[in-house]
Structure 1
Amino acid sequence: MANKSPKKEKDANKKKTNHNEKSDKKSSILSFTFTKLLFISAIFAALSSYYAYKIFTTPPDMPKLDLQEYWGPYPMNSEPDLSIRPFEIEFSDIMINDLKERLLHRRPFPPPLEEVGFTYGFNSHFLTRVLDYWQNKYNFKEREQFMNKFDHFITKIQGLDVHYIHVKPPVSEDIEVLPLLMMHGWPGSVREFYEVIPKLTTPQPGKKFVFEIIAPSLPGFGFSQAPVRPGFGPVEMAIVISNLMKRIGYDKYYIHGGDFGHVMGSMLVTFYPQNVLGFHTTTPLLLFHPLENIFTLLGTLWPSLIVEPQLQSRMYPLSEHLLRLAEESGYLHLQATKPDTVGIALTDSPAGLAAYIIEKFSTWTNNAYKKSGDGNLLAKFSLTHLLDNVMVYWSTNTITTSMRTYAETLNKRFIAMRLDEIPTDVPTWGIKFKHELVFHPDCMLKLKFKNYLHSTIVEDGGHFAAMENPDILATDIFDAVDTFLQFHNHTKNPETKERVPVNPNTAKTIYDFSVKDIYGRAVKLDKYKGFVLLIVNVASQCGLTDTNYNQLNELYEKYAKSRNLRILAFPCNQFGGQEPGSEKEIIKFTKERNIKFDIFEKIEVNGESAHPLWQFLKQTQSGTFGDFIKWNFSKFIVDKNGIPVERFGPNVNPIDLEPYLAKYW
């Protein structure tokens, strides 16, 4: 037995070895298979990601446009009417009497629930006050005259009578007049623009241009005829508006739009980029872009990747904003599916029409207003102005046709065109009021608007900017178009993008230099020829900031127009680290202070990296203790020939410079 033991042990070891070899071989095969699968999976994931990226970023084909499609009633005239006819808004006696009768004999409204404000919709207690005012105190003939204060015209485009306001500014020959197409939304009308038009046709300090206003009633809205057959969506409406501008005589123009006016602007810069010189919008958003949803969801995990920290509350928590949209978008679903049904009710009842339209001026101006029994409507608007807008719809019987626009926009045909995925190079500028219904960050907007240049952030205001904040809006449109002009000049002269720095030792005047403004655009200082200049290094967090910024603004407002004074402010962080912010933060700071003068990029004024302009200024006008700048708010006066003539330290307040500036007027 003892002799057999080694053999058995040997056989056992052999079996074990064979088993281990098989196990190792099997493990090796499994490992190889797993590695192979992992490699194949990685390739598949990479290809899938690539194709997904291509799907999301490859723009669709431009849809074919019928530029003369007929939308009017048949039979067509063999010879189209190309005339432009004067038009007057009329509130006829028959219409007024009928309206008053309907208001007088309205049925009693169910009383609102206790302390609900506008949370269930228009509070019927306050509606009674609105309707009584409309019936007894609204001066129809006076308002008719008011509505006709501007020149109105009608012309037939593609079978439709299209109405528009046309205001030409009376200005001197040295002021350039730029055409501005202004487009309203729903439930607005051309009435929205009555307060802002005079501000746009009057020169602003520092601007050498004003606007010639063309404000059409969009087809189906107000005084413009509605199409008689389906299929008239944003694309078709944009063609009509483009043809209108050609009929009036404008091949190139600027655009302002909000709400559906923004949609129209987006269509025009997509289809007619060669005609649109710049697009200003109060509703900067994308309607249908696949990456928009991805960006939004990504921001729920990392908000700072999508939106600036100071603006995150306008977009997140996402659940809160989706809840508000759900509360405020019931009208949208109704109008996108059954506009004619609700249209019948609103056409027959002035009480219903007033409640339906004016309620939007409450919650869309500020969502918190819904807690008030009067919707806080009179905080920003007057009953007269609100009813002016309602009268546009009532007197023309166009509430139904205006609402059909939603059915022609939120449908498969329009969405399938994927127009938000077609990029445009037209320079674009948005103003974002705090209580606007939807907030899209700049990174989203740049998916379509490749030259989205700037967003103005306003810590107040809502959807109806032209009526609520006409001063803010007018100033922003001027700033935007001023930027568009510089953009086009910069594009035409690409050599200015990379200019060889001027040697401050050989320069003769400041006109030899180029600088960058706060938006990063190159500016040749010879644009200031003939102006007296005050050049200052500024900071946002200095003890001298309040006094200097306030008085610089005061000087500018006092002398920019009367004496051709210009102030050039250069942020600098070399003194106590008191200008630490980014360009965006500096822009926000200056906007909050309503700064009118020119702000440039953040620079250094001392040391080896000092900007050449400031080297020149220091060499030309030495300080008490040498050339170097001592602190924030050092000041240089430059005469009309571009020569620095006087220098003042930070201790000299801007307002004390008046007698010194006066020497060079």
Structure 2
Amino acid sequence: MAEKSKKKSVKKSRNLVLPILSMIVALGASYYAYYKLNAPQAKPQVDFNAYWGPYPMDQKPDVSIRPFSVEFSDVMINELRNLLLHRRPFAPPLEDSGFTYGFNSNFLTRVLDYWQNKYNFADREKFFNKYNHYVTTIQGLDIHYVHIKPNVAEDVEIVPLLLLHGWPGSFREFYELIPELAPRPEHNFALELIIPSLPGFGFSKAPVRQGMGPLEVAVVMKNLMDRIGHQKYYVQGGDFGHNIGSIMATMFTDNVLGFHTNMPILLSHPMGTIYMLLGTIFPSYIVEPEIQDRIYPLSKQISFILEESGYLHIQATKPDTVGIALTDSPAGLAAYILEKFSTWTNAENKKAADGNLLSNFMLTHLLDNIMVYWTSNSITTSMRLYAEAFNKKRLGNKFDMIPTDVPTWGIKFKHELITQPDIVLKLKYKNYLHTTVVDAGGHFAAFESPKILGQDILQAILTFREFWGVSKSNPQQPQPNPEKATSVHEFYVKDIYGRNIKLDKYKGYVLLIVNVASQCGLTNKNYEQLNELYEKYSKARDFRILAFPCNQFNGQEPGNSNDIVKFINERDVKFDVFEKIEVNGENAHPLWKYLKRTQSGTLGDFIKWNFSKFIIDKNGRPVERFGPNVDPIDLEPSLAKYW
């Protein structure tokens, strides 16, 4: 019996050997595959002096920076109007087809008539030249850029920011963003903006020979920043601007202090593809909940990309062929470019007869961008960048698999062409610090959502500076004693982005200070009416609203700062929102202790519920208090007493 039992035990052990060996081999193969798929690539060699201009090469090139002006000449305007006037009739669109077959020819007629008869060329020329433009010759090419230097005190640090556009955009996209990036009193820095036209786009000359892909453009941009005098700077971009900015953050880590992208994607990382596929089975392990419906079902996203990438295949293979047609026809140029502004803003726009273009943009602004291409005759040369980017040699560089330590920040608009989870982005960006999720907006963020994008860029730069050990805002001073203070202007608060604000910035304004919550039964009405009050009186009557989130009333403001930012962005909140605080108890913010002391409430000084309201006069003195049951719009007569 013992011998028989021993034989069974040996047999059982032998039966276990094969599964164990198979498991070891499988684990080893998996580790090897993971290593091979995730192995970092080496940086390619670059030529910082490659010459892209015509021969013979100037042996003593002009390296000066020369003023430049956008000019709409009478000859060009007359030719354009003549071409628009004598255009051939278009085939009528199919019934109820909207933009599903491409640009609707009925609506195109409206666009072209406006361009011909109502677009004010003289005024738009002045608009383009409201900022300073320059050109300088780099690697044989005249490179154009807009340069905005802040006018600030000597103790304010100047921080350079390179803004990079994509296709079919231009430097014009950033004009509405520029005011949103203006110096702010709560910051100890101010942005100096450098906004170039990429080589072959707009007023930057195109290379005369093959080979200028995104890497070579990145080199030109670095050399441009060197020429201007900046060795350290931040970079922001979307579309090709993301691609080029990402390469700069990869190749020039000693120069790029931080990279902000409004199109955070990796197109060619094999592990990224595996993660995306795994997400179809285990989405909660791969994708953040708030963007899950933007990615899955994956078949829907793939179908959309296939449908919308036809232009890419043409421009990556035969850009000059389509370029000839678009160069010859302003109608064709407008239709080709504006169709992208419709569908890439929101795929649902193609169901509308006007592509919902006028719901998201001003026609004059859209035509400004078209004018950049038409005036400079650059549509063909701009499209060649696709041929230089999507070929075997360029894709072989595998930039998405070259990691970078440059701190990186992404903002994901709802209708961006491609959305990826942070787990994918962190394969490359080892210091990927933050993602802002916006439940609206599309591909052309600077054009469509300049306020949201501007706030996000500023917050990113504050975070980048903190990453490098630079104070993110002026240090907060000790709070005044609430029992002795005589004005709200004496207090310090933190805004929703964590920046220290002294309330004396509101001197001369009538204020409405209110504690808010995002999940209260009073939320919808109060936020709507607070926005209404702000829009009605902020400019006309020097009026400001200061909103302080508070979670002390039945836990109705449970989120963190990022959650609150997302909430206020979704509601397009215009007024100022501050960091979440307590308004009652020992830990109540000193400002609110002061408010309660100077304006006592019914049945006690304490705050009773969300949306209690204090009116502050222009001298910073609390003058009236209202309970949560008083609607903001009903405060108009009381506010009028203090204008």
Query: Of residues 312, 316, 320 in structure 2, which corresponds to 1:332?
Result: 312
TM-score (norm 2): 0.80
- In the alignment, what sits opposite 2:619? none
- In the alignment, what sits opposite 1:116? 97
Compute the displacement of 1:173 (Å): 6.1
Give the alignment of 1:77-92 within 5 angstroms. 77-92=58-73
1:580 lines up with 2:558 in the alignment: yes
Query: Of residues 427, 431, 450 in structure 2, which corresponds to 1:473?
Result: 450
1:127 lines up with 2:108 in the alignment: yes
Q: Does the 8 Å contact 2:132/2:148 carry over to 1?
A: yes
Q: Does the 8 Å contact 1:538/1:569 carry over to 2?
A: yes
Q: Does the 8 Å contact 1:221/1:398 carry over to 2?
A: yes
Give the alignment of 1:268-307 within 5 angstroms. 268-307=248-287
Compute the displacement of 1:242 (Å): 1.2
What code does the residue aligned with 1:70 have?
Y
Comparing 294-303 and 305-314, the one that deviates more:
305-314
Compute the displacement of 1:530 (Å): 9.4
Compute the displacement of 1:480 (Å): 3.2
Query: Of residues 239, 246, 260 in structure 2, which corresponds to 1:266?
Result: 246
**SS, match of residue 301 in structure 1:** coil
- In the alignment, what sits opposite 1:426? 406
Q: C-alpha distance in 2, partners of 1:298/1:599?
A: 39
Compute the displacement of 1:162 (Å): 0.3
Query: Of residues 153, 173, 180 in structure 1, which corresponds to 2:134?
Result: 153
1:362 lines up with 2:339 in the alignment: no
Compute the displacement of 1:415 (Å): 2.3
What code does the residue aligned with 1:463 have?
H
Q: C-alpha distance in 2, partners of 1:49/1:584?
A: 37
Q: C-alpha distance in 2, partners of 1:105/1:634?
A: 64
- In the alignment, what sits opposite 1:3? none
Give the alignment of 1:191-202 within 5 angstroms. 191-197=172-178, 199-200=179-180, 202=182
Unaligned runs of 5+ in 1: 1-16, 497-501, 503-507, 639-644, 660-665
**SS, match of residue 47 in structure 1:** helix
Q: C-alpha distance in 1, partners of 2:357/2:592?
A: 56
Compute the displacement of 1:486 (Å): 4.7
Give the alignment of 1:79-228 within 5 angstroms. 79-170=60-151, 177-197=158-178, 199-200=179-180, 202-203=182-183, 210-228=190-208
- The 3 A distance-change label for structure 1 pair 305 and 637 is farther
Q: Does the 8 Å contact 2:403/2:428 carry over to 1?
A: yes
Query: Of residues 211, 216, 233 in structure 2, which corresponds to 1:253?
Result: 233
Compute the displacement of 1:462 (Å): 2.1
- The 3 A distance-change label for structure 1 pair 220 and 559 is closer
Q: C-alpha distance in 2, partners of 1:206/1:283?
A: 28
- The 3 A distance-change label for structure 1 pair 38 and 635 is farther
What code does the residue aligned with 1:485 have?
L
Compute the displacement of 1:186 (Å): 0.5
Compute the displacement of 1:156 (Å): 0.5
**SS, match of residue 332 in structure 2:** helix
Q: C-alpha distance in 2, partners of 1:361/1:582?
A: 34
Compute the displacement of 1:187 (Å): 0.8
What code does the residue aligned with 1:368 have?
E
- In the alignment, what sits opposite 1:540? 518
Q: C-alpha distance in 1, partners of 2:420/2:384?
A: 26
- In the alignment, what sits opposite 1:309? 289
- The 3 A distance-change label for structure 1 pair 75 and 582 is same
What code does the residue aligned with 2:198 have?
L
- Per-residue CA shift, 1:501-558, capped at 9, x if unaligned? x9xxxxx99xxx9999867x7x789x88999999987543345656887899899999
What code does the residue aligned with 1:120 have?
Y
- The 3 A distance-change label for structure 1 pair 58 and 629 is farther
What code does the residue aligned with 1:39 have?
I
What code does the residue aligned with 1:476 have?
L
What code does the residue aligned with 2:202 have?
G
**SS, match of residue 279 in structure 2:** helix
Comparing 94-103 and 48-57, the one that deviates more:
94-103
Q: C-alpha distance in 2, partners of 1:205/1:550?
A: 28
**SS, match of residue 95 in structure 2:** coil
What code does the residue aligned with 1:575 have?
F
**What is the CA RMSD across the aligned residues, in angstroms?**
4.9
1:592 lines up with 2:570 in the alignment: yes
1:492 lines up with 2:469 in the alignment: yes
What code does the residue aligned with 1:183 have?
L
Q: How many residues align?
A: 626
Q: C-alpha distance in 2, partners of 1:209/1:91?
A: 36
- In the alignment, what sits opposite 1:69? 50
Compute the displacement of 1:621 (Å): 8.0
Compute the displacement of 1:648 (Å): 9.1
Give the alignment of 1:636-655 within 5 angstroms. none
What code does the residue aligned with 1:182 have?
L
What code does the residue aligned with 1:477 have?
G
**SS, match of residue 492 in structure 1:** coil
Q: Does the 8 Å contact 2:493/2:578 carry over to 1?
A: no
Q: Does the 8 Å contact 1:335/1:406 carry over to 2?
A: yes
**SS, match of residue 280 in structure 2:** helix
- The 3 A distance-change label for structure 1 pair 117 and 616 is closer
- Report % sequence identity: 56
- The 3 A distance-change label for structure 1 pair 552 and 97 is closer
- In the alignment, what sits opposite 1:320? 300
Comparing 431-440 and 234-243, the one that deviates more:
431-440
Q: Does the 8 Å contact 1:431/1:458 carry over to 2?
A: no
Compute the displacement of 1:647 (Å): 14
Compute the displacement of 1:153 (Å): 1.1
- The 3 A distance-change label for structure 1 pair 590 and 121 is closer
- In the alignment, what sits opposite 1:349? 329
Compute the displacement of 1:135 (Å): 4.0
Q: C-alpha distance in 2, partners of 1:416/1:105?
A: 47
Q: C-alpha distance in 1, partners of 2:50/2:450?
A: 35
Q: C-alpha distance in 2, partners of 1:352/1:244?
A: 33
Q: C-alpha distance in 2, partners of 1:287/1:566?
A: 43
Unaligned runs of 5+ in 2: 479-483, 486-490, 617-621, 639-643
- In the alignment, what sits opposite 2:221? 241
